[in-house]
């Protein structure tokens, strides 16, 4: 099982939307998918439960992180839902070691049962976020193309406690940054300039596609994506022209991400 962590300290950049749609896609491609929602906002739990595509565990991610996970339901696509107590874990420092170890043990236990585990994290890093990065294999970081978000890349990489480089060097050498995934990309001169700036300064962090027409993976801003999330739908199955077009635009980026995780789709 490969574990992919959706991570960005910024809120509202599309972690949950990308995580949920990628989970549907991989499940539809026959991959066995385990989804863990570490965010008390439950913005991926709600759509995925609504979709009816996944079996819903009877325990929550707080239970899992405290080493009290219950029985895993049968099925090739399972979600362990988020819950309100997740936000209180940070205030219980005596449990922080237990949390990282419990997640590691949980992932080891289900290693053979799933091909991929997708972990959606909360904005504003804390022990949940740290535990995910300490145990994960891959990090994918959706961002928005504004100056503030681009400035935030430094923190994603170099934050003294939660930065990717710090965690990789000190605790989890196998952690691989798939890259930053510009999301909600709009064809405005402002965003084009920001994308060009990103490609100039952070080319190695972007996800190269090998396609000259679309050199780097990214996701356009499309209302059909927000609608699909609100309805708990897999964008590829929404029978509206706009949704079909949006899916056609997104799929190549999802394929590159799957390839980087060595998941054949
Ligand atoms: N490419 C897109 N086009 C249009 N809307 C999008 C796109 N990506 C995400 N959205 C919408 O933007 C909002 C924020 O996205 P999402 O909840 O995935 O962000 P997030 O990073 O998980 O936020 P948080 O940090 O609060 O967890 C949601 O309503 C989502 O449906
Ligand atoms: Mg979210």
Ramachandran region, residue 77 (left: φ > 0; alpha: ψ -120 to 50; beta: rest): beta
Q: Any idea which ligand is nearest the CA of 15?
A: 1
Give the pLDDT confidence score for residue 149 in this predicted structure. Answer: 84
List alpha helices for 111-222, DSSP H.
127-135, 147-151, 153-158, 164-170, 189-201
Give the pLDDT confidence score for residue 150 in this predicted structure. Answer: 84
Ligand 1 atom at minimal distance to the Cα of residue 120: 22
Residue 212: partners with Cβ closer than 8 Å, 6 or more residues away: none
* Dihedral angle, C-alpha 16, 17, 23, 26, nearest 10 °: -140
Element (H, E) at 230: helix 223-231
Taking the centre of ligand 1 as the mean of its atom positions, its distance from the CA of residue 175, in whole angstroms, is 25
Cα(5)–Cα(41) distance, integer angstroms: 17
3-state secondary structure of 5: strand
pLDDT tens digits for the chain (265 residues)? 999 999 998 899 999 999 999 999 999 999 999 999 999 999 999 999 999 999 999 999 999 999 999 999 999 999 999 999 999 999 999 999 999 999 999 999 999 999 999 999 999 899 999 999 999 999 999 999 988 888 888 888 999 889 999 999 999 999 999 999 999 999 999 999 999 999 998 999 999 999 999 999 999 999 999 999 999 999 999 999 999 999 999 999 999 999 999 998 8
Give the pLDDT confidence score for residue 182 in this predicted structure. Answer: 97
Q: What tokens appear for 31 in the block?
A: 């991959």
Give the pLDDT confidence score for residue 152 in this predicted structure. Answer: 83
Give the pLDDT confidence score for residue 17 in this predicted structure. Answer: 98
Give the pLDDT confidence score for residue 203 in this predicted structure. Answer: 92
* Dihedral angle, C-alpha 44, 46, 49, 52, nearest 10 °: -100
- Enter the pTM of the model: 0.97
Instruction: Name all domains of the chain by residue range, CATH numbers in brackets.
Output: 2-260 (3.40.50.300)
Is the CB of residue 124 below 6 angstroms from any atom belonging to ligand 1?
A: no
Is the CB of residue 40 below 6 angstroms from any atom belonging to ligand 1?
A: no
Q: How far is CA 149 from the centre of its chain?
A: 17
Is the CB of residue 143 below 6 angstroms from any atom belonging to ligand 1?
A: no
Element (H, E) at 104: helix 96-109
Which protein residue has the closest C-alpha to ligand 1 atom 23? 12
Residue 62: partners with Cβ closer than 8 Å, 6 or more residues away: 83, 85, 86, 89
Taking the centre of ligand 1 as the mean of its atom positions, its distance from the CA of residue 112, in whole angstroms, is 31
Ligand 1 atom at minimal distance to the Cα of residue 185: 1
Is the CB of residue 75 below 6 angstroms from any atom belonging to ligand 1?
A: no
Residue 248: partners with Cβ closer than 8 Å, 6 or more residues away: none
Order of strands, sheet of 116-120, starting from the edge strand that comes earlier in the sequence: 55-56, 77-80, 33-37, 116-120, 2-6, 138-144, 176-183
Q: How far apart are the first and last CA of the chain?
A: 15
Which protein residue has the closest C-alpha to ligand 1 atom 11? 226
Ligand 1 atom at minimal distance to the Cα of residue 19: 18
3-state secondary structure of 79: strand
Q: Any idea which ligand is nearest the CA of 45?
A: 2
**Residues facing 208 on adjacent strands:** 216
Ligand 1 atom at minimal distance to the Cα of residue 224: 4
Q: Any idea which ligand is nearest the CA of 12?
A: 1
């Amino acid at each position: 099982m490969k574990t992919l962590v959706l991570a960005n300290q910024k809120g509202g950049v599309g972690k949950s939307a990308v995580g949920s749609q990628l989970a549907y896609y991989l499940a539809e491609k026959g991959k066995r998918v385990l989804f863990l929602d570490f965010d008390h906002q439950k913005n991926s739990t709600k759509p995925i439960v609504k979709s009816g595509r996944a079996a819903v565990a009877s325990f929550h991610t707080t239970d899992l992180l405290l080493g009290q996970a219950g029985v895993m339901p049968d099925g090739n696509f399972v979600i362990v839902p988020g819950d309100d107590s997740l936000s209180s874990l940070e205030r219980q420092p005596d449990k922080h070691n237990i949390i990282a170890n419990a997640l590691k043990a949980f992932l080891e236990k289900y290693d053979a049962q799933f091909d991929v585990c997708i972990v959606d994290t909360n904005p504003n890093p804390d022990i949940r976020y740290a535990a995910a990065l300490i145990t994960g294999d891959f990090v994918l970081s959706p961002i928005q193309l504004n100056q503030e978000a681009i400035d935030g890349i430094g923190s994603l990489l170099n934050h003294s406690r939660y930065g990717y480089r710090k965690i990789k060097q000190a605790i989890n050498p196998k952690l691989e940054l798939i890259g930053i995934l510009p999301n909600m990309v709009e064809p405005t001169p402002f965003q084009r300039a920001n994308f060009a700036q990103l490609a100039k300064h952070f080319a190695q962090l972007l996800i190269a596609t090998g396609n000259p027409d679309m050199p780097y993976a990214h996701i356009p801003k499309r209302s059909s994506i927000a609608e699909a999330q609100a309805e708990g739908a897999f964008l590829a199955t929404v029978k509206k022209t706009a949704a079909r077009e949006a899916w056609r635009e997104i799929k190549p980026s999802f394929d590159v991400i799957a390839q980087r995780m060595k998941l054949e789709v």
